[in-house]
């Protein structure tokens, strides 16, 4: 039995997680400012109720992400864990609303221009929701494990091109001091491709 609980990342590690949470939230805000957060300013069309619910639930999810990283940075681990229970419940709502929003999008014909049909494209958001569920489930099972999900062209591209990009040098150099044990890369294998 681990008596002391998980170790809290030291110094720059705590700042890294908090910064990542804030930056991710700012990216979400910037990406959805015209169509959701600042839609009255930009005069964009009204959204159906389901998309408002989706926006609210995802906003809560990112707010929880920022709050949880702050609690760990402040060494408020007990509160962080208690709030984690609410986070697990919110994750269930994220999954349900995400799946419902994806299906509604396919019904109204949402797909990238020149891309697959709406029904074929439905595999993308549904796949994301199932990966989300798997990652949240793994995190709940082992709270000391940090999972990072990245979407690349394929395994070879990630290993031979993306990992060797100059912007990753600082990250890769600092990674060993942030991790308790060596990094373990694993890859999801596609079952089939979408036409």
More confident of the two residues 52 and 135: 52
Mean pLDDT, all residues of the chain: 83
Q: What pTM was computed for the model?
A: 0.68
Residue % of the chain over a pLDDT of 70 = 84
- Any idea where the domains of the chain sit in the sequence? 12-178
- The most distant pair of C-alpha atoms in the chain lies apart, rounded to whole Å, by 57
pLDDT of 158 strictly over 50: yes
41 by Cβ neighbours in 10 Å (0-12 / 13-18 / 19+) ranks as exposed
Q: How far apart are CA 143 and CA 75, in angstroms?
A: 15
Angle 23-62-19 (CA atoms, 0-180°, nearest 5)? Answer: 30
Q: What is the pLDDT of residue 145?
A: 65
Q: How far apart are CA 91 and CA 68, in angstroms?
A: 14
The pair phi, psi for residue 179, each rounded to 5°, is -105, 145
Answer for the pair 46, 23: CB distance below 8 angstroms, yes or no: no
Q: How far apart are CA 106 and CA 121, in angstroms?
A: 8
Q: What pLDDT digit, counting tens, does each position of 25-62 carry?
A: 999 999 999 999 999 999 999 999 999 999 999 999 99
């Amino acid at each position: 039995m681990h008596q002391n609980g998980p170790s809290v990342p030291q110094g720059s590690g705590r700042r890294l997680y908090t910064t990542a949470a804030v930056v991710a939230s700012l990216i979400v805000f910037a990406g959805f400012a015209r169509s959701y957060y600042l839609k009255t300013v930009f005069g964009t069309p009204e959204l159906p109720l389901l998309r408002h619910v989706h926006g609210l639930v995802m906003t809560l999810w990112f707010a929880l992400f920022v709050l949880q990283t702050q609690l760990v940075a402040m060494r408020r681990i007990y509160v962080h864990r208690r709030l984690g229970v609410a986070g697990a419940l919110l994750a269930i709502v994220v999954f349900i609303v995400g799946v419902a929003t994806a299906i509604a999008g396919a019904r109204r014909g949402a797909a990238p221009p020149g891309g697959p049909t709406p029904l074929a494209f439905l595999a993308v958001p549904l796949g994301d929701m199932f990966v989300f569920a798997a990652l949240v489930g793994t995190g709940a099972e082992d709270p000391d494990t940090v999972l990072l999900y990245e979407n690349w062209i394929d395994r070879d591209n990630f290993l031979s091109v993306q990992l060797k990009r100059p912007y990753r040098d600082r990250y890769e150099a600092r990674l060993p001091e942030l991790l308790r044990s060596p990094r373990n890369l694993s890859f999801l294998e596609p079952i089939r491709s979408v036409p």
